[in-house]
Amino acid sequence: MCYFLKQIFVFFFCVYGLMFGLRLAVPYYYANPIYLEKFNYLDKTDADHDLVFMGSSRTFRQIAPRKIDEEMGGDIRSFNLGAGGTFGLEVLYAAEQLLSKRDTLPKMRVLVIEIQLPQPITDTNLRAARSKYYVDFKRYRSADDFFSSYYTLSEADLHMRNYRNAWLERALNIGLIRSQIFSLIGRGARNVFLGNEGSGYVPLDEEIHKRSYYERRRDFVENLETYVNEFYVRRGRKLETVDIGDVYLKQHLDLIEMGLSKGIRVIFMLLPSGFQLSSSGPEAIYAKLPEESRIDVGSQESWPMLYNPNLYFDRGHLNKSGAELLSKILGRELYKHLNYVKAPVEGD
- pLDDT score at 43: 82
CA pair distance 275, 267, nearest whole angstrom: 25
Assess contact for 284 and 129: CB atoms under 8 A: no
Give the residues across from 79 on adjacent strands.
52
- pLDDT score at 59: 97
- pLDDT score at 254: 96
In a domain, 345, yes or no: no
In a domain, 51, yes or no: yes
Name the nearest CA neighbour of 254 among 242, 266, 245. 266
In a domain, 346, yes or no: no
- pLDDT score at 281: 83
CA pair distance 214, 217, nearest whole angstrom: 5
Residue 182: CB atoms within 10 A of its CB come to 17
Q: Is 30 helix (H, G, I), strand (E, B) or coil?
A: coil
Q: Note down the domain range covering 142.
A: 2-339
CA pair distance 331, 304, nearest whole angstrom: 17
In a domain, 9, yes or no: yes
In the chain, the number of structural domains is 1
Torsion of CA 107, 294, 339, 104, to 10 degrees: 0
For Cα atoms 76, 80, 84, give the angle at the middle one, nearest 5 degrees. 165
In a domain, 217, yes or no: yes
In a domain, 348, yes or no: no
Residue 324: CB atoms within 10 A of its CB come to 17
Give the residues across from 80 on adjacent strands.
53
| Strands 51-54, 78-80: pairing kind | parallel
In a domain, 81, yes or no: yes
Name the nearest CA neighbour of 71 among 255, 297, 308. 297
Block mean pLDDT (10 aa), the chain, length 348: 52 51 80 92 80 96 95 88 94 95 85 94 89 95 94 91 94 87 71 87 94 94 90 68 88 96 95 77 91 93 92 95 97 86 44
- pLDDT score at 76: 84
In a domain, 344, yes or no: no
